[in-house]
Amino acid sequence: MDRRVFFQQMLASGLIAASLTQSMGADSPHPAGAISSKVKWQTSLKAAQKLALQQNKPILIVFGASWCPPCRKLENETLCDRRTVAMIEREFIPVHLDYEKEPKIVKILEVERLPCLVILTPEADLLHKSVGFAEAKEFQSKLTAALEKRAEVQQVQATAPVR
């Protein structure tokens, strides 16, 4: 099953819910202007996609596991960096998924190693995928590259002839 079909079915059926690897915040982002040291992760991939479509933002998915030391390091260092948190909250709809609790999503997104970062358009087109720990600046560069790719795709789509 391809990820676009999966997301369409998920959105229509409402049966898939993503689990948090730890309690890391509320469903809604912090108020505008507030600075937090933790990302406000979505608890449901379905809800995240709805928000992504409404807000026209890409979906940032971080896969981790409790037994994964590089995952813990990413969560405790990179994903707590104030600049990284601010960028994620401003530009993305973030979802944190447990690798072991979401086997169907893991399979569809072809997650083989952890930690894994997947960035999708609201329509589930792949913008970026990477594996392993990244320091805050490197992580921010990956996010920026995904946003630039999305802008390129949007520009091509806007100038493409309608069939």
Contact between residue 25 and residue 38 where contact means Cβ atoms under 8 Å apart: yes
pLDDT tens for 62-75 read: 999 999 999 999 99
Question: Residue 132: which H helix or E strand, with range?
Answer: none
Share of the chain above pLDDT 90, in %: 68
Task: Give a yes or no: residue 94 inside a domain.
Answer: yes
29 falls within a domain? no
Domain that holds residue 117: 3-24+35-158
Q: What is the CATH number of the domain that holds 69?
A: 3.40.30.10
Computed over every residue of the chain, the mean pLDDT equals 84
The answer to whether the Cα torsion of 139, 111, 9, 17 is positive or negative is negative
Tell me how many domains the chain contains.
1
Is position 110 within any domain? yes
30 inside domain: no
Task: Provide the whole-model pTM.
Answer: 0.79
**What are the tens digits of pLDDT across the range 43-59?**
788 899 999 999 999 99
